[in-house]
């Protein structure tokens, strides 16, 4: 699938666009676009990449990504298997910062909304009552048209602009759009990594895929992802281990092995470096919640 890099998802005849998604898997292409995107997966699991952040995702998380912030919701491998009966569902809203026109957006009443758009440059994950209310409102918005739909959208944005129940996702802002060839190349890299990260991945294998030397690929990967290749793989494995710790009764040793770590000691070290706690403590905290 070719990446839709920086193309408008909103027809010229519309102020915003909302889509109800129902498919075999979420779009597997790493990409960015000029529109702000409010997204909730209603069914489906996998790994999400937003800016320089990696995290497993589950249904009913509410995410706002800013203009040009690269992102990818990659469904678990089970969704791509031949004959799979798994399905995904979600709702996505695309809008521009100028949805009310530049003249109105500059007015005093729009201060909070402008602040919301500014914060979204790092990606925002909402939680609590506001999250639950907005997801319900997004489901209602799918059924609305015309002025009723636009007014409903403004109510959603008003709730999000005033709430403090959110946290930032990416450590860095991404102001400039990625070039299309970069998107295609990184999508190919991500696809390969996500299929193979639980076993040893040699840097030269990926470098060859992009017709680069290992040194050049390493520099390129670090520039695009804001982290080195080894760090990226370790983080991906740790986040997979978090998923297994919270969703299975497997032993820590088995989880380490299934996440791609060759030794238990290395797993414990990498996990603590990333999550600031031991795997067993992480599981206990989750169970207590």
Domains of the chain: 16-168 (2.60.120.10), 197-288 (1.10.10.60)
Alpha-carbon gap, residue 286 to 77, rounded angstroms: 25
Q: Say if residues 87 and 23 touch (Cβ distance below 8 Å).
A: yes
**What pLDDT is attached to residue 118?**
95
Please check the confidence at residue 229 and state whether its pLDDT lies above 70.
yes
Q: So what's the pLDDT on residue 62?
A: 98
Mean pLDDT on 1-5: 35
Q: Which of 53-57, 157-161, 170-174 has the lowest mean pLDDT?
A: 170-174
Whole-model pTM? 0.83
Nearest CA-CA partner of 37 in 76, 14, 71, 88: 71
* Per-residue confidence (pLDDT) for residue 150, from 0 to 100: 97
| pLDDT computed for residue 1 by the predictor | 30
Cα distances (angstroms) measured from residue 121 to each of 10, 67, 78: 19, 7, 32
pLDDT tens figures, 37-88: 999 999 999 999 999 999 999 999 999 999 989 999 999 989 999 999 999 9
pLDDT of 179: 64
Q: What is the mean pLDDT of the chain?
A: 90
Give residue 177's pLDDT band: very low, low, confident or very high (50, 70, 90).
low
Instruction: Using DSSP bridges, classify how beta strands 53-57 and 16-23 pair: parallel, antiparallel or unpaired.
Output: unpaired
């Amino acid at each position: 699938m070719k990446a839709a890099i920086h193309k408008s998802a909103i027809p010229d005849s519309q102020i915003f666009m909302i889509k109800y998604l129902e498919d075999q898997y979420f779009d597997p292409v790493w990409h960015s676009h000029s529109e702000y995107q409010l997204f909730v997966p209603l069914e489906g699991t996998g790994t999400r990449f937003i800016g320089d952040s990696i995290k497993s995702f589950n249904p009913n998380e509410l995410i706002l990504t800013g203009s040009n912030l690269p992102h990818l919701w990659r469904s678990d491998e089970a969704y791509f298997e031949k004959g799979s009966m798994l399905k995904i569902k979600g709702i996505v809203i695309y809008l521009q910062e100028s949805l009310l026109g530049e003249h109105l957006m500059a007015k005093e009443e729009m201060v909070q909304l402008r602040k919301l758009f500014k914060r979204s440059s790092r990606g925002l994950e909402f939680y609590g009552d506001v999250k639950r209310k907005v997801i319900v409102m997004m489901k209602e918005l799918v059924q609305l048209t015309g002025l009723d739909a636009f007014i409903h959208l403004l109510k959603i944005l008003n709730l999000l602009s005033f709430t403090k129940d959110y946290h930032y996702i990416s450590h860095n802002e991404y102001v400039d759009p990625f070039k299309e060839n970069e998107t295609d190349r990184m999508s190919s890299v991500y696809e390969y990594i996500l299929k193979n990260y639980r076993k040893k991945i040699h840097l030269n294998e990926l470098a060859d895929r992009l017709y680069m030397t290992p040194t050049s690929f390493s520099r390129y990967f670090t520039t695009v992802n804001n982290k080195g290749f080894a760090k990226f793989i370790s983080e991906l494995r740790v986040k997979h281990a978090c998923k297994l710790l919270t969703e299975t009764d497997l032993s820590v040793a088995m989880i380490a092995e299934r996440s791609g770590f060759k030794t238990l000691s290395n797993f414990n070290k990498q996990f603590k470096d990333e999550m600031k706690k031991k795997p067993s403590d992480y599981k206990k905290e989750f169970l207590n919640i």
